[in-house]
Amino acid sequence: MPAGVRQAAGHDGAEAATYETILFEDGSQYTGTLRAGLPDGLGTCTWTDGNTYDGEWRGGVMHGFGTYLWASGQRYDGEWKVRGC
């Protein structure tokens, strides 16, 4: 689990969602909802190449509606089911 991530237990013992900013070893940064230490819910990831994704995450991967913006200025708004942060 990345440094600085906190987890809280829910009422039923399941891990509750937290809202955090985490910095990965490669310099990428994620800000948003975490569940079980992984991006899950709404969040934004910025990679070291300047590309960003803002949208829905599930289990650590982009999943659902979101916007991917390349450093070159290209943009895609739509459904995602693939890339992790």
* Residue 36 within a domain: yes
Residue 51's φ and ψ, nearest 5 degrees, are -75, 145
* Residue 85 within a domain: no
* Residue 3 within a domain: no
* Residue 2 within a domain: no
* Residue 31 within a domain: yes
pLDDT score of 16? 85
Report pLDDT digits (tens) over 34-77: 999 899 999 999 999 999 999 999 999 999 999 999 999 999 99
| Residue range(s) defining the domain that contains residue 55 | 8-80
The CATH number assigned to the domain holding 31 equals 3.30.1120
Look up residue 38 and give its amino acid.
L
How many angstroms separate the CA atoms of 33 and 35, rounded?
7
Q: CB count, 10 Å around CB of 64?
A: 13
The Cα-based distances of 12 to 6, 33, 69 in angstroms read: 18, 19, 38
Q: What is the pTM of this model?
A: 0.77
How many angstroms separate the CA atoms of 10 and 65, rounded?
26
Q: Per the structure, how many domains does the chain have? A: 1
